[in-house]
Amino acid sequence: MGKAPGTGATVIDSQSIKAAETVGRDSRGYDAGKKINGRKRHLVVDTKGLPLFVMVTPADMTDRNAAREVLFRLRLMHPEITIVWADSAYAGQLVTWAKTHLNLTIKTVSRPKNTSGFVVLPRRWVVERSHAWIMHARRHARDYERLIQHSESLITWAAITIMTRRIARRSG
């Protein structure tokens, strides 16, 4: 039972979030796909939805470009990880780059063809749930932090709060 050593799996996703007036122009961008002026949170979670790594960028940075830095840092922190599930935004040359340079296998999960509306995607729902957990802290509904590092720290703090509450519920 359980996972064999060295078979770590994760899920990666990003979330565009509006920025308050306090956020400087140099650390914000415009996500044309979602029509949001702000920042983008890149989140990597384990298969249970517990955050392993978070990085915040201007919203105009593409998922593929940010993923190189995210996956590189993730690899340094968690060398046991071998598989990363992602949506189609992470497809293309990134898959080859990750395999060649980091020895990571990126598996993209696509929407079933001929579907409309909301569809729960296998593996991917875990990271979406984690984004929702973080958004429960009302402070994270919008990015108010002047510095990107502060934003990353507050997201990490929210994740720690979530994890400790889950542990306390189980033991109590």
Domain segments of the chain as ranges:
8-111+118-171
Q: Which residues pair with 107 in a beta bridge?
A: 85
Tokens of 150: 């502060």
- Helices 148-171 and 125-136 pack at an angle, to 10 degrees, of 100
> What does CATH list as the number for 8-111+118-171?
3.30.420.10
Q: Which region, left, alpha or beta, applies to residue 124 given φ > 0 means left and ψ of -120 to 50 means alpha?
A: alpha
Reading the chain (172 residues) residue by residue, the pLDDT tens digits are: 334 444 589 999 999 999 999 999 999 999 999 999 999 999 999 988 889 999 999 999 999 999 999 999 999 999 999 999 999 899 999 999 999 999 999 999 887 788 777 777 778 888 888 988 888 877 788 898 999 999 999 999 999 998 888 888 887 6
Q: Quick check: pTM over 0.85?
A: yes
